[in-house]
Amino acid sequence: MLTKRIIPCLDVKEGRVVKGIQFVQLRDAGDPVELARFYDEQGADELVFLDISASHEGRKTMVDVVQAVAAELAIPFTVGGGIHTLDDMKKILRAGADKVSLNTAAVNRPELITEGADFFGAQCMVVAVDAKYDEDCATWVVYTHGGRVKTDWKVLDWVKEAVRRGAGEILLTSMDCDGEKKGFDIALTKAVSTAVTVPVIASGGAGGASHFSDIFLDGKADAALAASIFHYKETSVAEVKAYIKDKGVYVR
Amino acid sequence: MIAIIDYGMGNLFSVSKALERLGEPYCITNNKNEILSADGVIVPGVGAISDAMRLLNETGMADVLKDYAASGKPILGICLGMQLLFEASEENGGCRGLGLLPGTVVKIPGVTIQGEKYKVPHMGWNLLQLRRQSPILKNVEEGFAYFVHSYYVTTENEEIILADSLYDVSVPAVVGRNNVFGTQFHPEKSSMTGMEILKNFTVLVSERVSVK
């Protein structure tokens, strides 16, 4: 049986880890290499490394930063941001990443998911989805470009399409919950996790250890991702794991 | 010197960094002479097995690896690299493998016998259950290893399965016979448990060097 994974996320801008509060207000939370080493030692199950400004400025993910971070890790590592072509994916995987994550580029050109999956295998392809509830549609809608552009895709349609095209994992961020620290979006995560056959990483809203047991037990998430509560040492990966293990969640 | 095979697919960097941490000299190569003269070979790999086999065949590296294995020197396949060691795979319409170990690579069903669906790929940390003693598992205790794969090995030769993990089906996690070894998980990404297995492989390599 697989364990539930706790994944610290390193949002990186110009080589430094930052965390978006509702995607706009940025704070500098440190050096990616230092944080990678810290989380590895703390018992993190995986890391996600996102170049958050990549889609906006068309900037490519900094391959050498990825290399420096990957050199510190004996745990797996996903990289997203600025990946638009098969060649971009090759560079990132060769720099030491285990998986690549596509967001805006996959929505713009869904064939990219298939191209990557055919070459690297579906297990390397993570599709990141920024979701926001839309009152008019009465469901969640997909946003791109770091949450700045609303698309026509309903989240449940898009994740099914992404998986059909070869996505091996969904990284699901709730824009409604992100930065609020009031808990993950249980309804959204459960809806997506039961709609697709691949693992779902819940993201956005973690404020304390109880939020993690909620998203695993009620939200049916396979993994849960958080940034600021770990970066600012409000809690630790070890503390979260001890707490959720007590609640009956299977962890490493 | 351990040769990490570079055939255009695979996480060469992570494997090489893990060897660096163990203080083991290595080269990343696709050169026939370099491979054949190496003391140990690691075949890494992520991705689709049919693409990998096509690349290995096109570059002539498939034959080089078969010759290398026949020399009796240690060879370790990781993840897709392990699957390549087997006879055949049904991925992407089917293809032949290197045939160094008996067995076939098939898709994880994704549905139990009772009809209950579960997720594929098998992605994450799973408990390693030790089945047989082997130098590659020396000092390795039951612990968690990191898996990322959608296909798994089936074989009638149970004796080559050294450790397995349960994910609806029994997934062969560590396989081996004579000088040919494989791990379905990523030892270089499996924290202490994985590093111990990689260390054992480097010991096999240096033992072989010292007796020759």
CA distance A9 to A80: 11
pLDDT band at residue A53 using 50, 70 and 90 as cut-offs: low
CA distance B180 to B69: 7
Per-residue pLDDT for A21 more than 80? Answer: no
Do residue A120 and residue B188 have CB atoms under 8 angstroms apart?
no
CA distances for B115 relative to A155, A220, B81, B110, B112, angstroms: 27, 19, 31, 9, 5
Share the mean pLDDT of chain A. 88
H helix or E strand, kind and range, residue A115: helix A111-120
Token reading at B205? 């390599």
- For position A63, what pLDDT does the model report? 81
- For position A91, what pLDDT does the model report? 84
Residue listed under structure tokens 């404020």: A207
CA distances for A111 relative to A105, A114, A173, angstroms: 10, 5, 22
CA distance A108 to A112: 9
Q: Specify whether the CB–CB gap between A166 and A116 falls below 8 A.
A: yes
DSSP labels, chain B:
-EEEE-SS-S-HHHHHHHHHHTT--EEEE--HHHHHH-SEEEE---S-HHHHHHHHHHTTHHHHHHHHHHTT--EEEETHHHHHTEEEE-GGG-EE---SEEEEEEE--SB-TTS-B--SSEEEEEE-EE-S--GGGTTPPS-EEEEEESEEEE-S-GGGEEEEEEESEEEEEEEEETTEEEESS-GGGSHHHHHHHHHHHHHHHHHHHHH-
**Across the interface, which of A5, A123, A197 has its CB nearest the CB of B125?**
A5
* CA-based nearest distance A158→chain B, Å: 18
Pairing of strands B95-96, B75-78: unpaired
Q: Which residues of A are known catalytic residues?
A: 11, 130
Q: Where are the domains of chain A?
A: 5-246
Q: Where are the domains of chain B?
A: 2-211
pLDDT band at residue A32 using 50, 70 and 90 as cut-offs: confident
**Cis omega (within 30 of 0) on the bond before B121?**
yes
- For position B45, what pLDDT does the model report? 80
**Across the interface, which of B14, B46, B146 has its CB nearest the CB of A121?**
B46
Instruction: Spell B70-93 as b/e; 16+ CB within 10 A means b.
Output: eeebbbbbbbbbbbbbbebbebee
Q: Specify whether the CB–CB gap between A159 and A191 falls below 8 A.
A: no
Name the 3-class secondary structure at A23: coil
List pLDDT tens digits, range A58-111: 355 568 788 888 777 889 989 998 888 998 888 888 788 889 999 999 999 999
Nearest chain A residue (CA) to B52: A119
Token reading at A19? 């965390």
* CA-based nearest distance B15→chain A, Å: 9
Catalytic residue (one of B79, B91, B95, B196): B79
Class for domain B2-211, per CATH? alpha beta
CA distance B65 to B52: 13
Per-residue pLDDT for A26 more than 70? Answer: no
Q: Give pLDDT < 70 ranges for chain B.
A: 9-11, 210-212
* CA-based nearest distance A149→chain B, Å: 31
- For position A225, what pLDDT does the model report? 97
CA distance A207 to A205: 6
Class for domain A5-246, per CATH? alpha beta
Q: Which residue has the higher pLDDT, A143 or A231?
A: A143
Residue B3: which of B32, B22, B11, B81 has the closest Cα?
B32
A252 to chain B: which residues are within 8 Å by CB? 125, 144
A116 touches chain B (CB under 8 A): no
Residue listed under structure tokens 């001890």: A242
Note which residues in 28-67 of chain A have CB less than 8 A from chain B. 45, 67
Q: Burial, A140: exposed, middle or buried (Cβ in 10 Å; 0-12, 13-18, 19+)?
A: buried
List pLDDT tens digits, range A193-215: 999 989 999 999 999 999 999 99
CA distance A218 to A221: 8
